[in-house]
Structure formats: C-alpha cells, structure tokens
A = this chain, B = another copy of it.
Amino acid sequence: MAEMTFREAVARGIAQEMDRDPSVVLLGEDIGAAGGVFKATAGLLEHFGPERVFDTPISEQAILGAAMGAAMTGLRPIAEIMFSDFFAVCWDLVVNQIAKTRYMSNGQVALPLVIRSSNGAGVRFGAQHSQSVENWAMAVPGLKVVAPSTPGDVVGLLAAAVRDPDPVLFFEQKSLYATKGEVPDHEIVGALGKAAVVRQGGAATIVALAAMVPRALAAADELEREGIETTVIDLRSLVPLDVTTIATSVAETGHLVTVEENPRLCGWGAEVSSIVAEENLFDLDGPIVRVTTPHVPIPAADALEDAALPSVSRIVDGVKRSLQ
C-alpha cells in the first residue's frame, strides 16, 4: 500500500499493463520525453523505451488513426488526447471510425484500444481547455466510457480498459491530478461498469462522477450535520452504466440527485434521470434534481469558474429540492 497522486496512478496503471503485455504501446503529444503535460506518463519512455512510447506531431486525427489501425492488427495502443476539448479535432476518428468499425464489419474487426484524456474544469484554462465531454462519448454507440475519481480506481480501471476488447475512452479529471490516495502495491484490475457506493444514507441518492464525487461527499457531510443522511454513488463508468446500483438505491431512498460538471443539456445526468423516470418512476417520492454547470462555456477567471461549477452548497440545495 502506497500513497500516490492521481497523476502518479496513471503512470503506475499504464506501467502495470505494459509490463504484463508487450502489445501495449503508448502514443500522444509530449507524452514521452516530457512525461506528458500533466506528468501523468512520467518515466514511461525511460522504462519502456522508444519502441513502445511515441511522441507524435500535433495531429490528433493521425494519433487516433494510428491507434485504431494498430488495434485492428494485433496491438493494444493507449493513445493520449492531451485535453478532452481536442476530441473535437479528431471526433471523426472516435465516432465514425473507432466506434463503428466493429459493428459495420459484423464483428470481423476488434478494436482493443484506450484513449486517455484530461477532462474538465477547475484549473482556470478557459473555455477551450476545460470542458467535460464524457457525455459526448456516452451518446455514441460503440464506445465504453470511464472516469475514475481516486488513484486506486485509476489503476484498476486503466487495467480493465487496456484488457477490454473494445475501445475505451478514459477521462482523467484534471482537477484531480494532484489529489492523493492509497493504492495497493500488487496488481490491481478493476471492472468496467461497476459503480461504487461510497457512502450510505437513507434520505436521498446522490450520483456523481470524477471530480464531483469528493464534492458530493462534502455535501453529504454537510447534509448529515443537518440530519439528512444520503447515499453517494461514484458512477466510475458511463458505458457500461451500472443501472442496477442506481435503481437499487433509489428504491431505498425515493430521491435522486445527479451531480455533473457538464453544461446543462443532454449530460449523463439527463440519461440517468430519464432511465429512472422510465423504469423506477413509482419509487420516486420527489423530483429528480440535476446539479450541473449552467449551459455556458467555462469562463477563465478564477472567480467565474468557481461560481460556474457545481459547488458543495449547490449540491446541498439540490438534495433539499429533491426532498420537497
């Protein structure tokens, strides 16, 4: 058991899989010699050499094309898209090629690849470097979508993603990189599609992801002080989605609040809400409340950015509204 940062856990998780499987290779911008702009791949070039770790030009389509073609022909690439905002410059590779090729080929082509990307706001990088885009991926059939909230889950879910036979988008919330957690020393392999109940309470169910998990927990603490006991679910994976864990909890609490960094419309919170409204409506004793960023680009100034993102107090308010 060692304490390490979220960013160190990324490198540790990749190293675990590269050690195990020689077909795992890495590519991306500044990931090799520089160890990544967030230092999440530090040491991997030194350890695994230039035969397995590749710095690329600023050519995101070429990066994902290379990953896809390599995955089709026997390798298990891990590609980095430096900021998830840049998925927009290579979205075609993600949604039209990587997501659909297995299906269009009627299963002839397998695409065991992972695309890691730093996601989300909180570090004052402005509107083109702060988006949470995990729901862009969730909306596209053929992609698995993961976003851990702790260093331990980073390692376990990275391992699961690398071993998965299908394309996995792995979102690393950039405001979490400096956070710390305990990570066991032995090999860790998680499972995609299993949410974690990180707190138990009977009054309401709060579902959160990535950087919103610690905030939801802080809100739960505050609510507890007011005598409101809540369950907090760390979703961890959007595809596959652990509907069972959510539904089970809602059946117990009767109240549901989702907490996401995404702008208002069409986020994963809407999906979770609408699943419950379709499948578990009669379990509900109050409205399903979604706490989100308003439907705005992320502003750059610290004061504005902080106020735009879901805060602990907005989560607290959201829970109270759900209890009406």
Q: Report which A residues bind B (CB closer than 8 A).
A: 85-89, 91-92, 94-96, 99-100, 103-104, 126-128, 135-136, 138-142, 239, 262-271, 273-274, 276-279, 281-282, 284, 286-290, 295-297, 299-300
A176 to chain B, nearest CB (A): 23
Complex Cα gap A270–B103 (Å): 24
* Closest CB pairs A-B (n = 5): A273-B274, A88-B92, A139-B266, A91-B91, A277-B277
Contact A127 B103 (CB under 8 A): yes
Complex Cα gap A287–B274 (Å): 9
Complex Cα gap A136–B136 (Å): 7
Complex Cα gap A287–B283 (Å): 11
Contact of A91 among B88, B262, B279 (CB under 8 A): B88
A115 to chain B, nearest CB (A): 15
Residue pairs across A and B with Cβ atoms less than 8 A apart, 19 shown, are A85-B96, A87-B91, A88-B94, A89-B91, A100-B297, A103-B127, A104-B126, A104-B300, A138-B266, A139-B266, A141-B295, A266-B266, A270-B274, A273-B274, A273-B278, A276-B277, A278-B288, A281-B284, A281-B287
Complex Cα gap A136–B266 (Å): 8
Complex Cα gap A289–B268 (Å): 17
Known: A92-B88, A126-B104, A284-B281. A139 touches B136 (CB 8 A): yes
- Copies of this chain per assembly: 2
B residues less than 8 Å from A284 (CB atoms): 277, 281
Contact A142 B297 (CB under 8 A): yes
Complex Cα gap A128–B284 (Å): 40
Contact A278 B290 (CB under 8 A): yes
Complex Cα gap A265–B270 (Å): 9
B residues less than 8 Å from A263 (CB atoms): 139-141
Contact A266 B135 (CB under 8 A): yes
Contact B142 A139 (CB under 8 A): no
A190 to chain B, nearest CB (A): 22
B residues less than 8 Å from A140 (CB atoms): 263
Residue ID in chain B nearest A258 by CB atoms: B274
B residues less than 8 Å from A99 (CB atoms): 297
A81 to chain B, nearest CB (A): 12
A315 to chain B, nearest CB (A): 15
B residues less than 8 Å from A267 (CB atoms): 139, 266
A103 to chain B, nearest CB (A): 5
B residues less than 8 Å from A262 (CB atoms): 139
Contact A274 B297 (CB under 8 A): no
Contact of A273 among B273, B286, B287, B296 (CB under 8 A): B273
Contact B296 A139 (CB under 8 A): no
Contact B88 A89 (CB under 8 A): no
A239 to chain B, nearest CB (A): 7
Residue ID in chain B nearest A256 by CB atoms: B277
Contact of A278 among B91, B142, B271, B289 (CB under 8 A): B289
B residues less than 8 Å from A103 (CB atoms): 127, 296-297, 299
B residues less than 8 Å from A88 (CB atoms): 91-92, 94-96
A257 to chain B, nearest CB (A): 10
